[in-house]
Structure 1
Amino acid sequence: MFGLSRFPYLGVVVPKAVLPGRRSGSLRGWCLGSMAVFQSGLLVLTTPLASLAPRLAPILTSAARLVNHTLYVHLQPGMSLEGPAQPQSSPVQATFEVLDFIAHLYAGANLHRHLDVRILLTNIQTKSAFLPPLPSSVQNLAHPPEVVLTDFQTLDGSKLLPELLQPYAERVEHLSEFLVDIKPSLTFDIIPLLDPYGPAGSDPSLEFLVVSEETYRGGMAANRFRLENDLEELALYQIQLVKDESHEQHEEEKVSSSNSRQRLLGKLLRPPNKRPELPSGLYVIGLTGISGSGKSSIAQRLKGLGAFVIDSDHLGHRAYAPSGPAYQPVVEAFGTDILHKDGIINRKILGSRVFGNKKQMKILTDIVWPVIAKLAREEMDLAVAEGKDVCVIDAAMLLEAGWQNMVHEVWTVVIPETEAVRRIVERDGLSEAAAQSRLQSQMSGQQLVDQSHVVLSTLWEPHVTQLQVEKAWNLLQKRISKTPQACD
């Protein structure tokens, strides 16, 4: 028997044998490696539904890593999980929003075929007076949950697409201009938040705090913090969020900066480079991203739209081959002990020789990168011969190698580092530590975006990625058609 009205610990409840573990990035819970470790689980969703929908995909992905059979889902939007008090379940009206969300959840769960997802309807109530009242919230479940997960986010939760956040100084400038514009006599201070509570947790002169449905729990937490530090509670003034009537299914229903950042995906962020030295009539895109970002899948989608794709990894293999232009210089620099018995370069041994050794790595890249660049130029000529007008260089090390100097635009694919680690572990069979080490040896997503013309993300479902790529491609075609001299 499992009671939905009171949970011993909302976040995660697991058998003592498997504690401790590591905090998960998408769920408040414990991530115990890359494989699901529990037969059954209960996922308690407490975020307001309007904000929960765009977060649903990564939440389900995280849950699928922990649970490998039955996942019960309990909807309780607005439930507070902060403080020592036991959370109480309450009825949820069966509105159209709730019913649409349930359909959306089941559709998202279909991506995780090993999961038997069951949304509990115990507390979902209709307004019909002809139906019996809500039964007891304690019910027998066929597969008693071995773990309890929630979507609860603390105040320091990460932002969506942080690489596209407007710089702080610009935000302050725009906000100041707006406030002065609407009421010149208004006196205000704009203060950066350096901790989860900001001035709300420490300023004794404050009297009230403006919150929304989403941040009300944060306001309550700030008040508890004030009381613990002998400060008076603030009055919480709750305002309504403005609905975004044009939001997409994967976006938030409210007007938000997150939606604005998502809508920047695929758009041109800075003027293209002029590259008169490139083949006439060919527009070259440099596609890059951190390991696990889904860069190569984006390249294949662009190929499907008509682009000529140059795979830098494939060019690297050609360069290292016994007949390749980098073979002899590499063997001379690193010795014959990097060779297999058949004379082929053992790239694992070579990689172990240079990884973590900046001097050795520079020796290798000084040999290989110019060779790959020369091979890429030959591939561009082939693209022209095939009548292609757009060429995409798929290269993880595009910027490190300086190859941005031979492209008109740099396109970067971004995802959160936690998601990149998960993908690398799943794809390459590495440990999380090894995956993180790989990412640390590369430029960060922010560093890549700072030098990019277009940004894309594979964080959502495949059809959303496809729409992004099609949007970017269509905008690119318009740029090319308006400025044909850019290709010359």
Structure 2
Amino acid sequence: MAVFQSGLLVLTTPLASLAPRLAPILTSAARLVNHTLYVHLQPGMSLEGPAQPQSSPVQATFEVLDFIAHLYAGANLHRHLDVRILLTNIQTKSAFLPLLPSSVQNLAHPPEVVLTDFQTLDGSKLLPELLQPYAERVEHLSEFLVDIKPSLTFDIIPLLDPYGPAGSDPSLEFLVVSEETYRGGMAANRFRLENDLEELALYQIQLVKDESHEQHEEEKVSSSNSRQRLLGKLLRPPNKRPELPSGLYVIGLTGISGSGKSSIAQRLKGLGAFVIDSDHLGHRAYAPSGPAYQPVVEAFGTDILHKDGIINRKILGSRVFGNKKQMKILTDIVWPVIAKLAREEMDLAVAEGKDVCVIDAAMLLEAGWQNMVHEVWTVVIPETEAVRRIVERDGLTEAAAQSRLQSQMSGQQLVDQSHVVLSTLWEPHVTQLQVEKAWNLLQKRISKTPQARD
């Protein structure tokens, strides 16, 4: 059930990139707001930094007008929402004058919550793949409470809806909130009154400032910051791979489509790694002189060939996509071939005097190639951001992009089998610092690895 009666949704993404994001954004807003949703269109507005963001005029171009129509059409899926796009800053060219900073629009239903498309678009936790498991959180919290007051009696109850016990337990008397959650406490009280329960006293506490937070991190001490600081660090012991070339440390780099995996590979290459591109090896395998060419043609027929005899990978892809049996026939042929080519590339890395080799492979874990690497590194981003990037990069529809992601392992499944996690969610310089941190920590590990010293 939605928590707030009214809300203001501020859309800051450029319109060309915003359209494919719109459906999940509206879905997330509909989970939080149950009546009036105001929408303020402000493409390009920066929400970073301490300064209060200022509204600016938006010219009423055909693109803007088409987007407004698209937004209302999308909102029709959420019938409980009364969506109202604010037009104060939408101006024709003749009226394109600066807005007065002091101008405030009086709204019939003042918003109880402000939402935005900035950073985490679906309203979920930042880097959810790195969330500490619930059982561990409960264990640590219980240990803390017993330590500070052994006589304290407490119950720990999982929150299964927006209100939790605060909305339904008649024995509760007060609720501890922060500046951020005070409105949520008020919403819980409204819900209690609607259900003939007494209001809770709201006890507000201050949030502790994180004095060492980075620009892209939250100012408060938070688990989100803690998860960001796990990026680049070793999460579990590396694999021992005595069968790999002596003196070579192998990283398997993977991630969902659109995650920025290849850009991470190039950054690692810039730091000195030997990079093996599995897509490039796939092209070699499929080539007329390649080791997979004849078995693939025999399995799928000559109608998958271009006139010049080259395998038409689009036709082959359409033949196997969504067909598990046909896909297995293909991967049983191609994956072992690519793995063999990768081993040959490792020997080349040794010949060039490299001590770190990175296998860039989206299907690394599905193919079982984790068995030929010391560590698996995974690049994660929210699925909504991945869809946006795929649509923008490959010209696919949003539905086609989502279908592509559904055919792959999820980010959580990848992280569960990974040694190091990275993310390209922030600005390029943040990604670079993150990769350099992971690289430097790796160098320290390698210096302590007997195989690397051989």
- Scaled by the length of structure 2, the TM-score of the pair is 0.77
Q: Is the 8 A contact 1:276 1:487 kept in 2?
A: no
* Separation in structure 2 between the aligned mates of residue 335 and residue 127 of structure 1, nearest angstrom: 60
After superposition, the Cα gap between the structure-2 partners of 1:458 and 1:54, relative to the gap in structure 1 and judged at 3 Å, is farther
Q: Is the 8 A contact 1:292 1:421 kept in 2?
A: yes
Which digits, 9 at most, give the CA deviation of each residue in 1:401-421, with x for residues without a partner?
A: 000000000000000000000
Residue 484 of structure 1 deviates from its aligned partner by 3.3
Q: Is the 8 A contact 1:326 1:371 kept in 2?
A: yes
After superposition, the Cα gap between the structure-2 partners of 1:465 and 1:97, relative to the gap in structure 1 and judged at 3 Å, is farther
- Which range moves more in the overlay, 299-308 or 221-230? 221-230
After superposition, the Cα gap between the structure-2 partners of 1:263 and 1:397, relative to the gap in structure 1 and judged at 3 Å, is same
After superposition, the Cα gap between the structure-2 partners of 1:263 and 1:100, relative to the gap in structure 1 and judged at 3 Å, is farther
1:6 corresponds in structure 2 to none
SS in structure 1 of the partner of residue 206 of structure 2 = coil
Alignment of 1:335-374 (within 5 A): 335-374=301-340
- Which range moves more in the overlay, 416-425 or 149-158? 149-158
SS in structure 2 of the partner of residue 68 of structure 1 = strand
Structure 2 regions of 5+ residues with no counterpart? Answer: none
SS in structure 2 of the partner of residue 88 of structure 1 = coil
Identity of aligned residues (%): 99
Residue 231 of structure 1 deviates from its aligned partner by 1.2
Which digits, 9 at most, give the CA deviation of each residue in 1:234-288, with x for residues without a partner?
A: 1111100000011000000100000000000000000000000000000000000
- Which range moves more in the overlay, 143-152 or 320-329? 143-152
- Which range moves more in the overlay, 302-311 or 216-225? 216-225
* Separation in structure 2 between the aligned mates of residue 486 and residue 381 of structure 1, nearest angstrom: 15
Q: Is the 8 A contact 2:25 2:121 kept in 1?
A: no
Q: Is the 8 A contact 1:53 1:252 kept in 2?
A: no
Residue 157 of structure 1 deviates from its aligned partner by 2.9
Structure 1 regions of 5+ residues with no counterpart? Answer: 1-34
Q: Is the 8 A contact 2:174 2:200 kept in 1?
A: yes
After superposition, the Cα gap between the structure-2 partners of 1:97 and 1:401, relative to the gap in structure 1 and judged at 3 Å, is closer
After superposition, the Cα gap between the structure-2 partners of 1:122 and 1:135, relative to the gap in structure 1 and judged at 3 Å, is farther
Which digits, 9 at most, give the CA deviation of each residue in 1:198-238, with x for residues without a partner?
A: 11111111111111011111111111111121111111111
SS in structure 2 of the partner of residue 210 of structure 1 = strand
* Separation in structure 1 between the aligned mates of residue 76 and residue 211 of structure 2, nearest angstrom: 27
Residue 349 of structure 1 deviates from its aligned partner by 0.4
After superposition, the Cα gap between the structure-2 partners of 1:101 and 1:167, relative to the gap in structure 1 and judged at 3 Å, is farther
After superposition, the Cα gap between the structure-2 partners of 1:109 and 1:368, relative to the gap in structure 1 and judged at 3 Å, is same
Residue 78 of structure 1 deviates from its aligned partner by 22
SS in structure 1 of the partner of residue 95 of structure 2 = coil
Q: Is the 8 A contact 1:274 1:408 kept in 2?
A: yes
Which digits, 9 at most, give the CA deviation of each residue in 1:91-145, with x for residues without a partner?
A: 9999999999999999999999999999999999999999999986259999999
- Which range moves more in the overlay, 338-347 or 74-83? 74-83
The reply on whether 1:265 has 2:261 as its aligned counterpart is no
2:259 corresponds in structure 1 to 293
1:32 corresponds in structure 2 to none
* Separation in structure 1 between the aligned mates of residue 400 and residue 420 of structure 2, nearest angstrom: 29
| 1:407 aligned residue (361, 370, 373) | 373
* Separation in structure 1 between the aligned mates of residue 428 and residue 57 of structure 2, nearest angstrom: 35
After superposition, the Cα gap between the structure-2 partners of 1:348 and 1:442, relative to the gap in structure 1 and judged at 3 Å, is same
After superposition, the Cα gap between the structure-2 partners of 1:194 and 1:364, relative to the gap in structure 1 and judged at 3 Å, is same
Q: Is the 8 A contact 2:17 2:388 kept in 1?
A: no
After superposition, the Cα gap between the structure-2 partners of 1:147 and 1:187, relative to the gap in structure 1 and judged at 3 Å, is closer
- Which range moves more in the overlay, 389-398 or 137-146? 137-146
Which digits, 9 at most, give the CA deviation of each residue in 1:64-90, with x for residues without a partner?
A: 999999999999999999999999999
- Which range moves more in the overlay, 379-388 or 60-69? 60-69
Q: Is the 8 A contact 2:246 2:452 kept in 1?
A: no
* Separation in structure 1 between the aligned mates of residue 378 and residue 216 of structure 2, nearest angstrom: 21
The reply on whether 1:305 has 2:305 as its aligned counterpart is no
Q: Is the 8 A contact 2:120 2:126 kept in 1?
A: no
- Which range moves more in the overlay, 474-483 or 367-376? 474-483
* Separation in structure 1 between the aligned mates of residue 235 and residue 116 of structure 2, nearest angstrom: 37
Q: Is the 8 A contact 1:275 1:486 kept in 2?
A: no
Which digits, 9 at most, give the CA deviation of each residue in 1:338-373, with x for residues without a partner?
A: 000000000000001101111100000000000000
* Separation in structure 1 between the aligned mates of residue 116 and residue 30 of structure 2, nearest angstrom: 13
Q: Is the 8 A contact 1:201 1:225 kept in 2?
A: yes
- Which range moves more in the overlay, 99-108 or 38-47? 99-108
- Scaled by the length of structure 1, the TM-score of the pair is 0.72
2:2 corresponds in structure 1 to 36
Residue 485 of structure 1 deviates from its aligned partner by 2.8
After superposition, the Cα gap between the structure-2 partners of 1:54 and 1:436, relative to the gap in structure 1 and judged at 3 Å, is closer
SS in structure 2 of the partner of residue 443 of structure 1 = coil
After superposition, the Cα gap between the structure-2 partners of 1:107 and 1:248, relative to the gap in structure 1 and judged at 3 Å, is farther
Residue 431 of structure 1 deviates from its aligned partner by 0.6
The reply on whether 1:46 has 2:12 as its aligned counterpart is yes
Q: Is the 8 A contact 1:51 1:252 kept in 2?
A: no
- Which range moves more in the overlay, 444-453 or 119-128? 119-128
After superposition, the Cα gap between the structure-2 partners of 1:251 and 1:304, relative to the gap in structure 1 and judged at 3 Å, is same
Q: Is the 8 A contact 2:248 2:452 kept in 1?
A: no
Q: Is the 8 A contact 2:261 2:379 kept in 1?
A: yes
After superposition, the Cα gap between the structure-2 partners of 1:393 and 1:199, relative to the gap in structure 1 and judged at 3 Å, is same
SS in structure 1 of the partner of residue 102 of structure 2 = coil
Q: Is the 8 A contact 2:3 2:162 kept in 1?
A: no
SS in structure 1 of the partner of residue 359 of structure 2 = strand
SS in structure 2 of the partner of residue 139 of structure 1 = coil
- Which range moves more in the overlay, 179-188 or 129-138? 129-138
SS in structure 1 of the partner of residue 94 of structure 2 = coil
Residue 154 of structure 1 deviates from its aligned partner by 12
